[in-house]
Amino acid sequence: MKEYLLLFRNASADNGYLTTAQDMAEDMPLWQAWIGNIAMQGKLLSTAPIEYNASLVSKNELKAGPYKEANSVLVSGFLICKADSLEEVQNWSKTCPILKYPNSSVEIRPLIPFPTN
């Protein structure tokens, strides 16, 4: 089995996420069921939402605030799982609750294990 990182991307406002408290309350059961399905298969390794506040460090600069793409889309959470194939992870991702929002997406990145010798 291979491990995969899923990055959840969503549009944001200038100083926070666009989701409201009501959105979060309505979405929580959907996320619990979606993540629970992966966990019940024994394929969930880790998951968490990400705070809006951030620091961006580059070689010559330290900036406050999250990195946003040109359309104000940023990473809002992640999930690390294991699966038999990329197609299996793509099928899970097609039903991810984040996709109900405009400009949202799930980026799937296969993880490369570090050599152990």
Predicted confidence (pLDDT) at residue 106 exceeds the cutoff of 90: yes
Predicted confidence (pLDDT) at residue 15 exceeds the cutoff of 70: no
pLDDT tens digits along 67-81: 777 678 888 899 999
Query: What does pTM read for this prediction?
Result: 0.86
**Overall average pLDDT of the 100-108 stretch:** 90
Domain extents for the chain? 2-110
The pLDDT score that the predictor gives to residue 18 is 65
79 CB-near residues (< 8 Å, 6+ apart): 5, 6, 8, 35, 38, 44, 46, 47
CA distance 58 to 67: 12
Q: Report the CATH fold assignment for 2-110.
A: Alpha-Beta Plaits (3.30.70)
The pLDDT score that the predictor gives to residue 103 is 85
Predicted confidence (pLDDT) at residue 14 exceeds the cutoff of 80: no
